[in-house]
A and B are shown apart, each in its own frame.
Chain A
Amino acid sequence: MSLAAQSIASLRKQLLSKEITPTDIVKDVLTSIEKQDPALKAYLSIDAERALADAASADISKPLGGIPIGIKDNINVKGAPCTCASKFLAENYTSPYNATCVNQLHAAGALTLGRLNMDEFAMGSSTENSAFFASRNPWDTERVPGGSSGGSASAVGGDIAIAALGSDTGGSIRQPSAFCGCVGLKPTYGRVSRYGLVAFASSLDQIGPITKTVEDAALVLNHLCGKDGRDSTSLDATVPDFTAGLGQDIKGLRFGLPKEYLVDGVDARIRSAVEAAITHIQGLGGIVEEISLPHTDVGIATYYVIAPAEASTNLSRFDGVRYGHRAENTADVLDHYLTTRAEGFGPEVKRRILLGTYVLSSGYYDAYYVKAQKARTLIRKDFDEAFKKVDIVLSPTTPELPFKLGAHSDDPLSIYLADLFTIPANLAGLPGISVPCGFVEDGGTSLPVGLQMVGRALDEVTLLRAAHAYEQSTSWHLKKPR
């Protein structure tokens, strides 16, 4: 197996036993990119020279020493582009600083390699909203890799990255991970500093790893977390060793299956793969019971008020003055703003700014924004109740299989509705993980299915333990595309 196709854990062993060097890994990843990326279109840019220089000076005695990690193009790495897949930042923007999580990865010995494609400003579920091009699913290049962290998932699933960072506001790590056969972890809100992540919806955004295995997710998470003076919402909580629960069994661990999630519109083949996974978890000694999350039906409406509202505020910083695109020959200062923003933003971003501005505007604030914040309380309390009975909430990650490019174009509501299972964890601030739980034959190709587990706030250790026990007793994560 090529080095680019291997896990962090496996590469670290070979580095420590001197079978390979960091330069071997980086060269292999670069060669794999050269071969496969023309089909996958996962990367927006690659600084091979810098990655090779970083590999040459990598300190393998550090916990992630010599491991290259791909970065979603909305996370700042000093000296690199950070386009957010937007025309607004396509030219003449170079990050003047590192995101806190990037500093932490560097301190752990990891190096950053490549900028990964996404939906513009992380708004979307397919990468089709990238201003540059859509990335492809490694299992079928006529299909989308999911989004918004689609480039990250495509690269990891397609073995042209060892691991990658994504960001998750309503499922943007977990959904593409499910579509591409990867493991995707959204940590508890506040676990990882958002400093250096270009803000979409500040009360929902969270950075997390997309990896080939659950163990790798824990290894990367170990070097992302902690209180940061530059993000006032980062939590001052003890950061445990996230690998601590790996290898432990799940006998007696309680899993809840929300009856509200068994809705029409979930692909029957996904449902049967998830049902098989549930039986499998019971076989491992997990106790599965039906639970109720009674306010599930307002999740999507709540999210699509709150997230655009916050986005409309956050994206007001794109004014064409301090960085990014600036329109030429404008009549006055108002025209400068109107034209600069009209030229710089793509259609989905404009839609969400308009929606967010509308729900915050005079006369509509109480009708939409206040109601959504109240509904958010009810959704949060649903989980508080559920976690009195169970340790983990189970569901499919997505209701549908990876779809063909263009399948949802011009019907934004239809694509918003597919976020049903991932949104609640963001609204409630809870950690969630997607792990491969089967494959479905569709149109002559084999497509991965993701199982989502959601855990208690700050209890990623139990979440990773459960996901690892399931993963290690199946072989889904070992299957490779083509």
Chain B
Amino acid sequence: MAHHIDIQHTAKLARLKLTEQEAVKYEAQLAKVLDYMETLEGHDLSGVELTAHAMPIYDVWREDVSVEGLDRAEALANAPRKTAGQFLISRVVE
């Protein structure tokens, strides 16, 4: 079965702007990959438990003690834009 993927919708969910050429190319490539995913239908998966990760460890806690982290200058050092000791972001309210 040939899969159709609404590439522009998916791209918006992923916060990626695609050119028209990119959209056409990725749509075709991903349809082929999704066709291949049909192999997952080859085994009976009903009643099988899910594996989220390989090792059985859950509810990991650390001691409730404060530890040194990055100071403000270090945390801001890689910011593309900053002002007054804070990250500068785009306007979200008019």
Contacts and interface: CB of A to CB of B under 8 A. Distances in A.
Given A96-B75, A297-B39, A427-B54, A325 B49 contact: no
Contact of B51 (A202, A316, A324, A377): A377
A295 B77 contact: no
A305 to B, nearest CB: 6
A341 B78 contact: no
A298 B30 contact: no
A357 B79 contact: no
B2 interface: no
B59 to A, nearest CB: 9
Given A298-B39, A350-B26, A357-B10, A203 B57 contact: no
Chain B residues touching A, majority SS:
loop
Interface in A239-264: none
Interface string A319-332: 01111111000101
Interface in A362-383: 368, 370-378, 380
A304 B50 contact: no
Contacts of B18: 342, 350
Nearest to A302: B40
Contacts of A298: 39-40, 42-43
Given A354-B30, A378-B43, A342 B14 contact: no
Interface string B39-65: 110110100111111110100101100
Interface of B: 5, 7, 10-18, 22, 26, 29-30, 32-34, 36-40, 42-43, 45, 48-55, 57, 60, 62-63, 70, 74-75, 77-81, 87, 89-92
Interface of A: 92-94, 96-97, 189-190, 202-203, 229, 232-233, 235, 295, 297-298, 300-302, 304-305, 312, 316, 320-326, 330, 332-339, 341-342, 345, 347, 350-351, 353-358, 361, 368, 370-378, 380, 412-413, 416, 427-430, 457
